[in-house]
A and B are shown apart, each in its own frame.
Chain A
């Protein structure tokens, strides 16, 4: 077993981001803030994928549940962004518990497709009820309903976004570090590595999986809620399949350490895309080539093999 990084070590990323802030050019501040928010989604995915070895293709539904929970609350009920954040996280936890029941029952490819089907169904529902959700066009939250609006007297939008994202990321990284070095974390890893053995020892692995799925949902939903409340937009685009695939890529690029990987992966992929966008027309090509090159250049993603290599044996 790999030694787990201590909390001090894993907090280097937030510390670097905090120290770097005054020196970053304005646009890079905005970009890094956005990446920090997205990386929370990436951490959420990693809890499922890396810690317990559950591969889902429906996490966009959890992300969107947070986004809609927070967004619709702030839009229709009360323009209080902090309550809205709680509502957002709660709604994605609720949904993740429903989907988690699925994860308890089935594994491997069946779970991948099960979550994909569920998230597609929810995506269509969000489009269909566009009188409420705004459908594919989405809804724009008024200033006072957003976190940036609430912090306006203190901070500019740019600063507010960076600070809030940084605080959120710090909390998440610390939480993940504590979780992965805790007894619970080790049990989750055991589910990933040898579920039968753990079961034979009398542990209820279903509950562990459900728990992991819910934590994953909470983080994904927090990312979605924060995105809505910091950028004042809610839309069905975030519930589509592509948004379920992206965290898979980020986590795979990020590497085996669940404490750093999800952030590094989202940073790398998004920076590549953003740099290429400014340079040439076919920037999507550059991202594609980058992924292929990464796959070829990197050593065996042995850690991923432990998770992905067995999706058939679990499913059959």
Chain B
């Protein structure tokens, strides 16, 4: 009896200890958060801040990106406030979690506008969230800035209030790198991609580019979502191809590991989109097989890949080291090829506010703001645009920029090519400027 009681009390103590440890971890995680809105620093009395709402993927599938988007947004806002804010007014960032869900995303837009009355909305990465949010923003008449790479903005699926000036889109990226792939790696290509719209955007853009450059996509292997084992699909990879093009097929660490076992040493060239391993260190067990394979990058993860004073300043400001990892925790690798879009978008807002004389969320001020933004056609490389200069198409509301191609050498990414801006141009009939604003 005594022994039993002792055992059970031991068990209870153990459970309580484990529970306390768990709670401690959660508390630490919670305390890292900003409670509600972040007060701008050095606010002068009487000066009304510019409020920028921020829809962020803190939880859900987009969380690896959301973490870094938030980090960059905070860094950019604190830098903007240090250099005098926007049009002399401090910036206040109001961030809310959208759970990477289209339903919650649209709800967050309503909250940001109706409850917080923000001046502008900095939007999300995942295309479904952007597509569900854009109509809300258009209806509530608040400019919405996606940092998503999706085709929703340029292809006219949204409305005149939605912009994507800080990051290039998938067709632009694929068009730019396809030429290099076909010329340098080979013309017989097999593709492996997720069987939903994001993957299909890649498939369509690469197929179109292949037609233009006389290459052939010999096999297309779409993978259903939620897959945890990939070997069964590899038998579809033809043995006589030059290049295997892969992008975002779910559990990437499992995918690469199984691909390595299946293909072995005698493999075709591999070309991937960095999206698959964004926020994942190349040293992660299982990624050894990527040695010698190629990746698209928007902004090189390793500092020497594109070493400019602007890039260095940006890296320093967001707290990322030479190899693209968090300065305070090198195992936490950044989403380097996407998150710069948040930084650049905030400076586009600053430029457009200052040029248009925007001051209040009124009809006339928004009209001036949007028309000014639509008339911009060029963003110069600099502290505000560290990834490089960009051509902005005011009709498509979309930026076009340089892309990078890197090879994995000694476990790090080494840039082998930087595309020209023109390489990413494509034709599209969309013209947002013809839509009425109100």
Contacts and interface: CB of A to CB of B under 8 A. Distances in A.
Interface of A: 25-27, 29-31, 34, 124, 127-128, 130-131, 134-141, 148, 157, 231-233, 235-238, 274, 277-285
B53 to A, nearest CB: 12
27 contacts: A27-B111, A27-B114, A30-B110, A30-B114, A31-B107, A127-B195, A127-B225, A130-B197, A136-B225, A137-B198, A138-B102, A139-B131, A140-B134, A231-B132, A233-B102, A233-B106, A236-B128, A237-B102, A238-B102, A238-B103, A274-B107, A278-B96, A279-B36, A281-B34, A282-B26, A282-B29, A284-B59
Contacts of B114: 25-27, 29-30
Q: Which 7 A-B pairs have the closest CB atoms?
A: A281-B33, A135-B197, A27-B114, A27-B115, A137-B197, A137-B127, A127-B196
B111 A130 contact: no
Assign chain B's interface to a size class: 35 or more
B30 interface: yes
Given A138-B131, A232-B135, A281-B58, A34 B107 contact: yes
B103 to A, nearest CB: 7
A278 B108 CA distance: 9
Contacts of B225: 124, 127, 136
Given A235-B102, A235-B132, A279 B111 contact: no
Interface string B138-160: 01000000000010100001100
A26 B198 CA distance: 35
B81 interface: no
Nearest to A243: B103
A interface, by DSSP: helix, strand, loop or mixed? Answer: helix
B83 interface: no
A278 B111 CA distance: 9
A235 B35 contact: no
A138 B157 CA distance: 10
Contacts of A274: 107, 111
Q: Output the residue of B26, B35, B158, B196 with the most chain A CB within 10 A.
A: B196
Contact of B197 (A31, A134, A141, A284): A134
Contacts of B107: 31, 34, 274
Contact of A280 (B35, B59, B108): B35
B417 interface: no
B269 interface: no
A282 B128 contact: no
Interface string B82-122: 00000000000000110101110011101100110000000
B128 A231 contact: no
B111 A137 contact: no
Interface of B: 26, 29-30, 32-36, 58-59, 96-97, 99, 101-103, 106-108, 110-111, 114-115, 127-128, 131-132, 134-136, 139, 150, 152, 157-158, 195-198, 200, 222, 224-225
Given A27-B115, A231-B106, A285-B26, A237 B101 contact: yes
A277 B222 CA distance: 36
Contacts of A136: 127-128, 196-198, 225
B33 A280 contact: yes
A128 B203 CA distance: 13
Nearest to B58: A281
Contacts of B33: 280-282
Contacts of B157: 139-140
Contacts of A235: 102, 128, 131-132
A155 B34 CA distance: 38
B289 to A, nearest CB: 28
A131 B200 contact: yes
A130 B99 contact: no
Given A136-B196, A231-B106, 12 more contacts: A127-B196, A130-B197, A137-B196, A141-B135, A235-B128, A237-B103, A277-B97, A277-B108, A277-B111, A281-B33, A281-B97, A284-B99
Contacts of A130: 196-197, 200
B58 A137 contact: no
Contacts of A128: 195-196, 222, 224
A138 B131 CA distance: 7
Contacts of B111: 27, 274, 277-278
Contacts of B36: 278-280
B135 A233 contact: yes
Given A137-B127, A140-B157, A281-B34, A236 B196 contact: yes
A140 B158 contact: yes
A27 B127 CA distance: 25
Contacts of B196: 127-128, 130, 135-137, 236
Nearest to B200: A130
Specify which of B29, B135, B157, B225 lies most central, judged by the most chain A CB atoms within 10 Å of its CB. B135
A127 B197 CA distance: 7
Contacts of B158: 140
A140 B133 CA distance: 10
A4 B97 CA distance: 41
Nearest to A158: B114
B102 A282 contact: no
